[in-house]
Amino acid sequence: MRGKEITEPKKLILMGLCGGKCEFRGCEKSIVQDMLTGEKSNFSNYAHIIASSVNGPRGNKVLSTQLSNDENNIMVLCRDHHKEIDDFPEKFTVNILRDMKKEHENYIKDLMKIKKESTVIGIKYTFNISDRVPKINDDDVRTCAFKQNYYCKGDIINLSDSKADERNDSRIYELEKENIKRNFLQMVKPQFKKENVQKIFLCAIAPQPLLIYLGTLFSDISNVDVQQLQREPVQEWYLGDNEDKKFNINVIVPEKKNEKVALNISITADIDEDRIRAVGGKECDIIKIESTIHGNDIIKNKSQLETYNKRIRHTFETIKDVYGRDCEINVFPAMPVSIAVETGRCWMKKAHPRLTIYDEKNGFKKALEIKYEGEDE
């Protein structure tokens, strides 16, 4: 015994629910256009989860006839995946197919929530960290924006210089600093002249001195969402909106005893002051910014960045007031990528003292200087 045929109104509903894509997990092949010829037509296959026939794949004596025209029991698939699920019903069970359908249709619903005015610019930047070659795919940036109900308009802007890592030069960071600035002026600045940019999504992995410098280029741009790579439970770029009450930032400012000042930023790990004095000398005041918890994956939400930003801005102001605008701040960082970029964004080139950034390479070594506008090249 077989249930009734799928009606045309139900087919229209199903086409809307699937968004014109195959609902088989991982496929998303268009069912309204031939990808080879480009011809547009209705190539959809309407596949029953519980077969409309009792004797069909996943057939049921009671439910087959009852659900034959129920949109909740019908998937829209490409021809290949329709054949596959029916050829292997023991593998593609009712529950598995229901999960696939729900997952895909929820994705389409989320996509439809994005408004036209919610378009953003996606930017990525990478640079080798010792022997590790980090990679950020364009889809990583797009997915990050999408999860926050934004759509990345146009191509993802890549600020990386693919040839920079091939050079063996003691001034590699200084040279890369010039590349970042050039690419920023050529690729990012023009975007603000062409149209009203609502938001920028920025994903970056690089040595901390370069990330701090990258952040300084965005210090005058308020609508930048700096993102953080999450490793658990899945690896993805994302920052949530929830508030983390366990996370806080403490700032320890000693009484001024010397003219030289160092800034110890201990977020991912605690930096021992003896390591700083080994390169900065004993006659150096050390101001410490530390998180209440340490680790590589502690930055999970935007409120944590906001907390850090308030502390680092106040610290820059304090150093300027106590040591003078013409002093040099020696920065020793141990921080996640998002914190490094935000450190640069919070440094005001017209107001704050110049920065000398140190990098950890079997001990701290001077890596990069960031000067205020009066000394800029």
Give the chain's domains with CATH numbers.
Answer: 8-112 (no CATH), 116-237 (3.40.50), 249-375 (no CATH)
Give me the percent of the chain exceeding a pLDDT of 90: 64
CA distance 315 to 326: 16
User: Which of 195, 24, 188 minimizes the C-alpha distance to 117?
Assistant: 195
- Average pLDDT, stretch 19-39? 88
Name the least confident of 80-89, 278-287, 303-312: 278-287
For residue 126, which amino acid is it?
T
Read off the pLDDT band of 170 (50, 70, 90).
low
The predicted pLDDT at position 194 comes to: 62
Which tokens go with 6?
């799928």
**Cβ-based neighbour number of residue 10 at 10 Å:** 15
More confident residue, 148 or 266: 266
CB burial of 350-371 (b: ≥16 within 10 Å; e: otherwise) equals eebbbbbbbbbeeebeebbbbe
CA distance 215 to 197: 18
CA 336 and chain centroid, separation: 13
User: Which of 218, 199, 119, 118 minimizes the C-alpha distance to 159?
Assistant: 218
Handedness of CA 84, 86, 88, 93 (dihedral sign): positive
The predicted pLDDT at position 377 comes to: 41
The predicted pLDDT at position 164 comes to: 53
CA 305 and chain centroid, separation: 14
Read off the pLDDT band of 69 (50, 70, 90).
very high
- Average pLDDT, stretch 263-282? 93
